[in-house]
Chain A
Amino acid sequence: MRRNYAAAVLGGLLLVSSLAGCGGGDSGSEDGGDDKLVLGFSQVGAESGWRTANTKSIQESAAAAGIELKFSDAQGKQENQISAIRSFITQKVDVIAFSPVVVSGWDAVLKEAKDAGIPVILTDRAVDSQDTSLYASFIGSDFVEEGKKAGEWLAKEYEGKSEPVNIVELQGTTGSAPALDRQKGFADVIAGNPNLKIVKSQTGDFKRADGKTVMETFLQSTPDIDVLYAHNDDMGLGAIEAIEAAGKKPGTDIKIITVDAVKDGMTALADGKINFIVECSPLLGPQLMELAKKVDAGETVEKRVLTKETTFTQEQAKTELPNRQY
Chain B
Amino acid sequence: MISIFKNRLFWPAAILVVLLVINMFTSRQFVTVQDGHLFGTLIDILRNSAPLILVGLGMTLVISTGGIDLSVGSVMAISAAVACLLIQDLDDQNSVGPVLLIIGIAIVVSMLMGLWNGALVAIIGIQPIIATLILMVAGRGIAQLITDGQIINVQSGPYATIASGFFAALPVALLIAVAATALILLLTRRTALGLLLESVGGSPTASRLAGIGARRLTIMVYVVAGGLAGLAGLIYSANIKSADSISAGNLIELDAILAVVIGGTALVGGRFSIIGTVLGAVLIQTLAVTVVAIGIPSEANLLFKAVVVVALCLFQSPTLREKVFGRLTPRSAAGAEVTA
Which residues of A are interface residues toward B (Cβ below 8 A)? 45-49, 52, 55, 75-76, 171, 174-175, 200-203, 205, 207-210, 212-214, 216-218, 220-221, 223, 234, 237-238, 241, 245-247, 264
Indicate whether B317 reaches chain A with its CB closer than 8 angstroms.
no
Task: Tell me whether A175 and B299 are in contact in the complex, defined as CB-CB below 8 angstroms, given that A209-B240, A209-B244 are known contacts.
Answer: yes
On whether the beta carbons of B246 and A221 are closer than 8 Å, the reply is: no
**Interface residue from B28, B239, B242, B292 paired with A223 (Cβ < 8 Å):** B28
On whether the beta carbons of B35 and A47 are closer than 8 Å, the reply is: no
Complex Cα gap A120–B192 (Å): 62
Task: Tell me whether A247 and B244 are in contact in the complex, defined as CB-CB below 8 angstroms, given that A55-B149, A203-B301, A217-B41 are known contacts.
Answer: no
Task: Tell me whether A207 and B244 are in contact in the complex, defined as CB-CB below 8 angstroms, given that A223-B28, A234-B151 are known contacts.
Answer: yes
Q: How far is the CB of B235 from chain A (nearest CB, A)?
A: 11
Q: What bracket does the count of chain B residues touching chain A fall in?
A: 35 or more
Complex Cα gap A175–B298 (Å): 9
On whether the beta carbons of A201 and B298 are closer than 8 Å, the reply is: yes
Indicate whether B245 reaches chain A with its CB closer than 8 angstroms.
yes
Q: Mark B22-39, 1 if CB is under 8 A from A, else 0.
A: 000011110000110001
Q: How far is the CB of B44 from chain A (nearest CB, A)?
A: 5
**Interface residue from A46, A217, A247 paired with B44 (Cβ < 8 Å):** A217
Task: Tell me whether A209 and B299 are in contact in the complex, defined as CB-CB below 8 angstroms, given that A217-B44, A220-B41 are known contacts.
Answer: no
**Interface residue from A208, A216, A217 paired with B240 (Cβ < 8 Å):** A208
Q: How far is the CB of B63 from chain A (nearest CB, A)?
A: 26
Indicate whether B159 reaches chain A with its CB closer than 8 angstroms.
no
On whether the beta carbons of B150 and A49 are closer than 8 Å, the reply is: yes
On whether the beta carbons of A245 and B164 are closer than 8 Å, the reply is: yes
Q: Which residues on A sit within 8 Å (CB–CB) of B244?
A: 207-209
On whether the beta carbons of A174 and B247 are closer than 8 Å, the reply is: no
Which residue from chain B places its CB closest to the CB of A48 in the assembled complex?
B151
Which residue from chain B places its CB closest to the CB of A179 in the assembled complex?
B298
25 residue pairs of the A-B complex, CB under 8 angstroms, read A46-B144, A46-B149, A48-B151, A49-B151, A52-B149, A174-B298, A200-B295, A201-B297, A202-B291, A203-B298, A205-B247, A207-B244, A209-B244, A209-B248, A213-B44, A213-B48, A216-B48, A217-B44, A217-B289, A217-B293, A220-B27, A221-B26, A223-B28, A241-B240, A245-B164
Indicate whether B271 reaches chain A with its CB closer than 8 angstroms.
no
Residues of B32-61 contacting chain A, CB below 8 A: 34-35, 39-41, 44, 48
Q: Which residues on A sit within 8 Å (CB–CB) of B289?
A: 213, 217
On whether the beta carbons of B149 and A218 are closer than 8 Å, the reply is: no
Task: Tell me whether A209 and B236 are in contact in the complex, defined as CB-CB below 8 angstroms, given that A46-B144, A217-B41 are known contacts.
Answer: yes
